[in-house]
Amino acid sequence: MTALTFTLKLPLRQRLDVSPLVPDVLLGKSEKEIALLPLQYGNRRIATAELFDIQGGDAESVCISGSPKLDFAGRAMTRGALNIEGDTGAYLGMQMKGGRLCVSGSAGLYAACELKGGLVEIAGNAGDLLGAALPGNKKGMSEGVVIVRGNAGDRVGDHMRRGSILIEGRAGAYLGARMTAGTIAVRGDIGPCAGYAMKRGTLLLYSSHSEIGATFNDCGMHTLGFLPLLLKGYEGLDTCFSGAPASLARVRRFAGDLSVQGKGEILLVA
Amino acid sequence: MLIKLTGGTVYDPANGIDGQVRNLFIRDGRIVHSLNGATPDHEYDLRGKVVMAGAIDMHTHIGGGKVTIARNLLPEDHRADPEPRRGLMRAGCGHAAPSTLTTGYRYAEMGYTAGFEPAVLPINARQAHMEMADVPLLDVGGYVMLGSDDFFLRLLSSGSDQQLINDYVAWTIRSAKAIGIKVVNPGGISAFKFNQRMLDLDEKHVYYGVTPRQILKSLARAVHELGVPHPLHVHGCNLGVPGNVETTLNTISGIEGLPMHLTHIQFHSYGVEGDRKFSSGAARVAEAINANKNITIDVGQILFGQTVTASGDSMRQHANAGHAHPDKWVCMDIECDAGCGVVPFKYRDKNFVNALQWCIGLETFLLIEDPWRVFLTTDHPNGAPFTTYPHLIRLLMDKSFRNDMLSTVNPEAAALSTLGTLDREYSLYEIAIMTRAGAARLLGLTDRGHLGAGAAADITVYTDQADKEKMFTRPDYVFKDGELVVRNGEVVKVVWGNLHTVQPEFDGGIEARLRDYFDRYHTMKLDNFVINDWEIEGDGRSKILVHPCHQGARS
């Protein structure tokens, strides 16, 4: 059976909440039921079939054609695969618990926010607050892996609790701000204020241009035994961080954020 | 507009009507004896239905800075309880701290037509009024907070004449457009800023050298002498502290016969008996209230679930901040004259302390004999959101339901409580006293809370059911000032409520003194405190209603 595919008939004029288009909801539904599934489109509710051509039948693997107005894709999904062909809007994979969510384009604000498990792959760029907590909430991403092949915006991993965010491009300001724990690795340059008010957790930075704030204490160069083990954990994932050379690196360790008596670390790969 | 309500079973305690079948007539928003032969424009067949005046919540935090802070602090409270646009109702959200519009709709859908905000700070009164003005379908009013403000404490510590204090109290009520005076942890909010972490009834404020007992007496006397109908509204010392029942009993005896309203008494009725040093003081408090006719109370019942506590009592809120759930809280000073504490809280039925609090509240309801002096509140949202009132009414009216619930709470607490042995069940008449007639009388609202000729036509019609929770959740009809606003539990028309106030007289000389004081010591000037009529009525929605003060109370 081929993947259950939703193709947009026309460009979206309003924001569209596609949170029902996940394997958990679609499994066991007939073609007709899926066609009638109501979606929130701007300020009205509309049947799925009015917006999408629906083809294929395997609801374990769902494919949606992308749009920057497509919000909440893969929200709270627990199983199966969801592929977005193109860009997606805000709240991609919000509170997702399991399965695999892939975006071939870029994602908007709050991608993978409060992620609780599973794998999120974004081939393009990610907006601000990747893997963060929703506004006012105390706990961001708490499990799972996020891979971004492009760049990420500001405040990646805000209030992050556990899990890994792997960014192959650049990252913006306030990387890992207010982190409680977890790992964020960035291949490219980063913006100012990395690790602001972080309690625990690891920022693994590969760019020599990274500026570290005054509230982080330089602990010197180290060969850390745990680093190869950490990176070995990413083996099997399609990312540059899982390659063998990365694991041989020596790192300069900065401890902080001392302004909140944090026990986190920023590791600069030499 | 002429309306006839035919054949309903009327419960109108203010006029001594206990379940008699009556016709009611409404002419242009007022209840009248008869229509003088005119044909009604609308007639409603209420045969077999229960008819009461619209309910009045005399202590509910629905406006002012702390509600806004609670909303800002708890976005999850809003996300978890969205209220989409529906019919005439605009969208809103919030379980513990709902948005203004949603507050109004939900109250009206339960048959409430008035709610009184008990903690209006003089400097925040404008914002509180604007927020309350945005609550549809509900009459509102506020008690303005004094007792921890520098000007008053200076007057008291310098041994000023009571007359001067009276003038200041009257000026504050008038300028804040309030209907009464509230005192929160008398002097304690100020003492907190002088590094005192508790202040018992006879403990001196380290800077001003005055005690809460003096503050209470002075303010209660002022309110009484000014003839303000609502007695001093007191949130006492030591809220939530085990053993505070002694403080409460001393407060009752210490007021020496002056009228006083003790609010959310449940939080002030804790003993220190038992292995856990936490026990019920409800029986002793109820005994004292039964014996002292000058005292009225509202209960501040807790009900289990997530809510948020919002209070001016920054001293006690700071002490309780460790219990915050979710773990975040706000305690702050307000213009050096007051404070505010917002601590989210989850009451759990399996928790010993919470279960006993639940029992203490219900014991208080059942042990106080005179329903005219006890009022049904959860101190919304501090004990529970106001939407739990129908559940609370069922707990009071249905003994077997109450005992079923008692068997599900923490067994250790249930065993310690006398609740299981209390057989009292409230009648519909007594519920109508607590939630209507008594509340109106306590506030001096002569034309609300009853169904006699001349009263405003705020009327709620229920279908009598065995399950009182169902009955009080969904009235058949609610009339607000003669307009049908709710039918079968759904809002069918949106109208705007009135603002209830009193305007006690004072000597204008106080203004010059206050102007000088504010100019010298405050960031805000006198004019910031004075709210003009047009600010309330200018948009044509709310009307200001002024209730008369008693005559000759001044000694």
Q: What is the mean pLDDT of each run of 10 residues along chain B (555 residues)?
A: 95 96 96 92 95 97 93 92 92 95 97 96 94 96 96 96 96 97 96 95 97 97 96 96 96 95 97 94 96 96 96 95 93 91 96 97 97 96 97 97 97 94 96 97 96 96 96 97 95 96 95 96 92 94 94 55
Distance from the Cα of B73 to chain A's closest Cα (Å) equals 7
Contact B74 A136 (CB under 8 A): yes
Q: Which residues contact residue B415 at a Cβ distance below 8 angstroms, ignoring those fewer than 6 apart? A: none
What is the per-residue pLDDT for B555? 45
Task: Look up residue B433 and give its DSSP letter.
Answer: I
- Per-residue pLDDT of A88-105, as tens digits, reads 999 999 999 999 999 999
- Helix or strand (DSSP H, E) at B403: helix B399-406
Task: Kindly report the nearest CA distance between residue A72 and chain B, in angstroms.
Answer: 14
Give the closest-approach CA distance of A140 to chain B in angstroms. Answer: 13
Burial environment of residue B359 by CB neighbours within 10 A (0 to 12, 13 to 18, 19 or more):
buried
pLDDT > 90: percent of chain A: 85
Whole-prediction pTM value? 0.90
Do A136 and B326 make contact, defined as CB atoms within 8 angstroms? no
**What pLDDT does A211 receive?**
87
Strand ranges (DSSP E) for chain A?
A: 3-8, 16-17, 38-41, 44-47, 52-55, 58-65, 70-71, 81-85, 100-103, 116-122, 143-148, 164-167, 183-186, 202-205, 217-222, 251-256, 264-269
Name the closest residue on chain A to residue B325, using Cα atoms: A138
Q: Is the dihedral of CA B84, B113, B469, B265 positive or negative?
A: positive
Tokens of B218: 């002075």
Question: pLDDT tens digits, residue range B185-220?
Answer: 999 999 999 999 999 999 999 999 999 999 999 999
Q: Is A134 in Cβ contact with B75 (below 8 Å)?
A: yes
- Rg of chain B's alpha carbons, rounded to an integer? 22
Interchain pair B75, A138: CB under 8 A: no
Q: How distant, in Å, are the alpha carbons of A165, A184, A269, B48, B471 from that of A156?
A: 8, 8, 19, 63, 51
- Confidence check on the interface: ipTM exceeds 0.90, yes or no: no
Contact B398, B425 (CB under 8 A): yes
Beta bridge partners of B346: B306
DSSP B364: H
Question: A43 exposed, middle or buried (CB, 10 Å; 0-12, 13-18, 19+)?
Answer: exposed
* Residue A125, phi then psi, degrees to nearest 5: -100, 160
B194/B311 Cα distance (integer angstroms): 19
Q: Do B75 and A136 touch (CB under 8 A)?
A: yes
Beta carbons of B74 and A135 less than 8 Å apart: no
- Of B72, B79, B328, which is closest to A138 when you measure between CB atoms? B328
pLDDT digits (tens, 9 = 90+) for B473-526: 999 999 999 999 999 999 999 999 999 999 999 999 999 999 999 999 998 899
Are the beta carbons of A255 and A263 closer than 8 angstroms? yes
pLDDT of residue A244: 62
**For residue A248, what pLDDT is reported?**
67
pLDDT of res. A270: 80
Tens-digit pLDDT profile for residues A208-225: 888 899 999 999 999 988
**Mutation for testing the B interface, residue in A17, A138, A159, A180 having most B CBs under 10 Å:** A138
Q: Nearest-CA residue of chain A relative to B85?
A: A43
Local confidence pLDDT in tens for the 270 residues of chain A: 799 999 999 999 999 999 999 999 999 999 999 999 999 999 899 999 999 999 998 999 999 999 999 999 999 999 999 999 999 999 999 999 999 999 999 999 999 999 999 999 999 999 999 999 999 888 999 999 999 999 999 999 999 999 999 999 999 999 999 999 999 999 999 999 999 999 999 999 998 888 899 999 999 999 988 888 898 899 899 998 887 665 567 899 999 899 999 999 999 998
Say how many CB pairs under 8 Å bridge A and B.
14
Give B81 to chain A, closest Cα distance, Å.
15
Return the closest-CA partner of residue A148 out of A201, A185, A189: A185
pLDDT on residue A57: 87
Amino acid at B44: Y
- Residues of B within 8 A of A135 (CB-CB) are 75
Helix (H, G, I), strand (E, B) or coil at B440: helix
> For residue A22, which of A78, A71, A106 has the smallest C-alpha distance?
A78
- pLDDT tens, A120-135? 999 999 999 999 999 9
pLDDT tens digits for range B360-408: 999 999 999 999 999 999 999 999 999 999 999 999 999 999 999 999 9
Rounded CA gap, B501 and B520, in Å? Answer: 30
pLDDT at B7: 95
Q: Which residues pair with B42 in a beta bridge?
A: B3
In chain B, whose CA is at the least distance from the CA of A40? Answer: B84
Per the CB < 8 Å rule, is A137 touching B75? yes
Q: Which of B72, B79, B327 sits opposite A138 (nearest CB)?
A: B327
Domain ranges of chain A: 1-60, 66-269
Q: In whole angstroms, what is the distance from residue A120 CA to residue A144 CA?
A: 8
- Beta carbons of B76 and A135 less than 8 Å apart: no
Q: How far is CA A37 from CA A17, A20, A22, B9, in A?
A: 12, 8, 12, 47
Tokens of A14: 């309003």
Nearest C-alpha neighbor of B219 from the set B272, B259, B177, B249: B259
3-state secondary structure of A242: helix
Tokens 């006293």, residue located: B433
Single-letter residue type at B62: I
Residue of A nearest to B74 (CA): A136
Question: B76: nearest CA in chain A?
Answer: A137
